[in-house]
């Protein structure tokens, strides 16, 4: 029953643990988005962590301002797709629902079942775009609209309230509880939301510690480095490391400052190269974008060498890990 010319993608089971959710143990059926041939635009205008941090900084800069964090449940899942997608999955990997839906009767000879997807699912490239369009359509009668030049930043036409949207997380700046209630009522008329009026956690991993009397907020990611080191099976160094990268002092008195000699160390085997890539991928969000910009120079230096990862690159990555193991709990404070 799959229409001619339509591609069929695959399903993938994803298991994860989210300790801050009401139900921390998650098991999801996701879609293989790399095989979806969607003809429309899939780019979504969401904010980045830099814009969200600017919003948090503006909260402490306004004497009467407060912050609230919201999360929309199933933000991507309840929206109708403009065209159905198709997915197949092995029958033997779905044993718990075979009798309920009589799946053996519709399975193919090679042991697959085919599914039509009419609502948003995780993994579909177009779900983010569709979810944001639905949100904009829903909030328009309440006079909320995204800012034209700052992606992901929304404001009310008249009320002193604005918010930054990252995926399904709202960081809200408001002056006056009645304006916050106005936004809550607008969202709850369509969505199921979880609110954190103390604004203690953002994006699931960034902890916020507010001091409204001193007009300051401290951002941190407790436990992030510890989990990363455990994931990488890091072996502690014998001595503490207080520098994330090797310092190259200038040669004073010379008119010409020579560049560093080319790296001639051997390239890494695939498994060690993958480890270096994991280190950089885990730290690009943690460093300048989130809480610890002291490692930005080291991360950028290593990232620039990812295409040709050598033993010297690995040594830089290990030095960076030693520094993070010595200083695992970085934080950054925004104050008036």
- Confidence class for position 20, pLDDT limits 50, 70, 90: low
Which pLDDT belongs to residue 77?
87
214 pLDDT tier (thresholds 50, 70, 90): very high
pLDDT per residue as tens digits for the range 255-289: 776 667 777 889 999 999 999 999 998 888 776 57
Rounded average pLDDT over 113-133: 92
According to the model, what pLDDT value does residue 19 have? Answer: 67
Average pLDDT rounded to a whole number, residues 204-224: 90
pLDDT for position 287: 66
List the domains of the chain with CATH numbers.
1-37+80-119 (no CATH), 40-77+124-204 (3.30.70), 224-335 (no CATH)
Tell me the whole-structure pTM to 2 decimals. Answer: 0.83
Give the 3-state DSSP-derived string for the chain, with helices as H, strands as E and coil as C: CCCCCCCEEEEEEEEEECCCCCCCEEEEEEECHHHCCCCCCCCCCCCCHHHHHHHHHHHHHCCCCEEEEEEECCCCCCCEEEEEEEEEEEHHHCHHHHHHHCHHHCCCCCCEEEEEEEECCCCCCCHHHHHHHHHHHHHHHHCEEECCCCCCEEEECCCCEEEEEECCEEEEEECCHHHHHHHHHHHHCCCCEEEECCCCEECCCEEEEEECCCCEEEEECCCHHHHHHHHCCCCCCCCCCCCCCCCCCCCCCCCCCCCCCCCCCCECCHHHHHHHHHHHHHHHHHHHHHHCHHHHHHHHHHHCCHHHCEHHHHHHHHHHHHHHHHCCCCEEEEEC
What is the pLDDT, as a whole number, of residue 261? 75
Residue 172: pLDDT band (50, 70, 90) is: very high
221 versus 95: the higher-pLDDT residue is 221
- Average pLDDT estimate for 112-135: 92
- Across 68-90, average pLDDT: 90
């Amino acid at each position: 029953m799959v229409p001619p010319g339509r591609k069929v993608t695959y399903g993938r089971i994803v298991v994860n643990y989210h300790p801050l959710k009401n139900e921390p143990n998650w098991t999801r059926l996701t879609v293989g988005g790399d095989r979806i041939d969607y003809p429309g635009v899939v780019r979504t205008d969401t904010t980045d962590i830099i814009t969200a941090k600017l919003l948090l900084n503006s909260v402490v800069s306004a004497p009467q301002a407060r912050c609230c964090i919201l999360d929309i449940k199933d933000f991507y899942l309840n929206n109708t797709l403009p065209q159905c997608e198709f997915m197949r999955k092995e029958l033997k990997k779905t044993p718990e629902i075979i009798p309920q839906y009589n799946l053996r009767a519709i399975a193919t000879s090679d042991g697959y079942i085919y599914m039509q997807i009419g609502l948003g699912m995780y993994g579909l490239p177009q779900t983010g775009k569709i979810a944001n369009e639905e949100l904009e359509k829903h909030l328009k009668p309440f006079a909320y609209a995204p800012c034209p030049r700052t992606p992901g930043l929304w404001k009310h036409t008249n009320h002193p309230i604005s918010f930054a949207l990252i995926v399904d997380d709202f960081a809200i700046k408001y002056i006056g509880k009645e304006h916050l209630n106005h936004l809550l009522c607008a969202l709850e008329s369509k969505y199921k939301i979880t609110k954190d009026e103390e604004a203690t956690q953002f994006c699931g991993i960034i902890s916020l510690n507010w001091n409204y009397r001193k007009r300051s907020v401290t951002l941190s990611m407790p436990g992030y480095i510890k989990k990363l080191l455990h994931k990488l099976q890091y072996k502690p160094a014998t001595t503490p490391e207080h520098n994330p990268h090797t310092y190259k002092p200038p040669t004073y008195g010379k008119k010409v400052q020579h560049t560093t000699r080319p790296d001639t160390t051997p390239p890494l085997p695939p498994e060690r190269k993958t480890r270096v890539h994991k280190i950089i991928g885990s730290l690009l969000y943690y460093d300048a974008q989130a809480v610890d910009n002291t490692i930005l120079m080291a991360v950028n230096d290593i990232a620039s060498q990812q295409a040709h990862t050598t033993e010297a690159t690995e040594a830089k990555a290990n030095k960076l890990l030693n520094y993070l193991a010595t200083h695992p709990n970085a934080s950054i404070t925004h104050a008036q």
